[in-house]
Amino acid sequence: MNNQNNIPLNSAASVHSCRKEEAMNEKLTILYCRLSRDDGDGVIESNSISNQKNILIDYAERNGFVPYEIAVDDGYSGTNYNRPGWQELMAKVENDEVSTIIVKNLDRMGRNYLQTGMYREMFAERGVRLIAVNDGVDTANGEGDDFLPFREIMAEFYARDTSKKLKAVFGSKGKSGKPLTNKVPYGYIKDPNDKNKWLVDPEAAAVVRRIFALTISGIGPYEIARLFHSEKVERPSYYQAKNGIVNYPSWLKTSDPYQWCGGTIVAMLAHPEYAGHTVNFRSSSVNFKTKTRKKNAPEDWQIFPNTHEAIIPQETWDLAQKIRKTVKRTDSIGEANPLTH
């Protein structure tokens, strides 16, 4: 198959063009691939991006669908269409650049049957042909049209059922005292032998201890932020990304890695995790169709004491909370709090 070895297999939203110069003015075929993190272990291999690309490229080249481009959404849920690859595809459709869209299965388009049906109607109005290779659907000749709404409803039922199962799994894990968050707090790292166990990061932990000590001495969070900036202390996000503690390359893209925010320090001071406790269920999902989360009231949190090594002694943490609740501190000038005298 032509060009297969040049295809980037791991891009979250990539487009690979194999246009020929003589065909530059022709409308495109878009080969669309999607893989969700919610796709269970049993289907990851069969639905993998590389597998989808291989199937779609083979189909396109055997059936003369050239020129074509490949749009990819790797790690995006099918329950909504706010995905980079899909948005690029739709921009081309709206610009009348697309003749055909080919997917491996209809559920790769999405698992929201109302929106999927809306897009199908839009494609039909614009004369865009839709092919789902493994489902035997081709809107050019009506194959499978009678069953399309049923397939889309079943795809949404699958997404809803998967969401319920995942929620049950996470709920059980959270109630067992294992941390639900994938992001360890600044000051900790994950144990390489047990992802549910946190270890103290000595360098960052020293900064955390200093934040609590400065707070107890009466220095406000915004004054601490300015102090750290002047001393060129790397801010948490930059430090964690630089040291591979989190996999967020975008956190390294900053003009000032020492720019601390007072709000960051306020949040750190309120974290029971620094006293050695695990806190679960700080937030919950709105519904299975969106990644939007809402904050839960503190009384709905579940706190599991002494689950990992504390960076801050409990009495120090408690004192910091007491001082933070007072209102007589002047953060702008770092005036000492009367409670510390």
Q: Name the residue among 341, 305, 310, 307 with its Cα closest to residue 326.
A: 341
Report the C-alpha gap between 43 and 62 in whole angstroms. Answer: 26
Report the C-alpha gap between 89 and 217 in whole angstroms. Answer: 57
Which residues contact residue 189 at a Cβ distance below 8 angstroms, ignoring those fewer than 6 apart?
198, 199, 200, 201, 245
How far is residue 153 from each of residues 43, 100, 101, 137, 145, measured CA to CA in Å?
A: 19, 23, 20, 16, 14
* Token pair for 3: 């060009």
Mean pLDDT of the chain: 78
pLDDT of residue 237: 93
Q: Band of the pLDDT at 266, cuts 50, 70, 90?
A: very high
pLDDT of 312 strictly over 70 = yes
Give the class (CATH, top level) of 4-160.
alpha beta
Helix (H, G, I), strand (E, B) or coil at 190: strand
Q: Where are the chain's structural domains?
A: 4-160, 176-340
Q: What is the third-level CATH fold of 176-340?
A: Hect, E3 ligase catalytic domain fold (3.90.1750)
Helix (H, G, I), strand (E, B) or coil at 295: strand
Q: Band of the pLDDT at 31, cuts 50, 70, 90?
A: very high
More confident call, 158 vs 272: 272
pLDDT of 14 strictly over 60 = no
* Token pair for 141: 């000749």
Report the C-alpha gap between 247 and 338 in whole angstroms. Answer: 42
Q: What digits encode the pLDDT tens for the residues 178-191?
A: 776 778 999 999 99
CB contact at 8 A, 34 and 85: yes
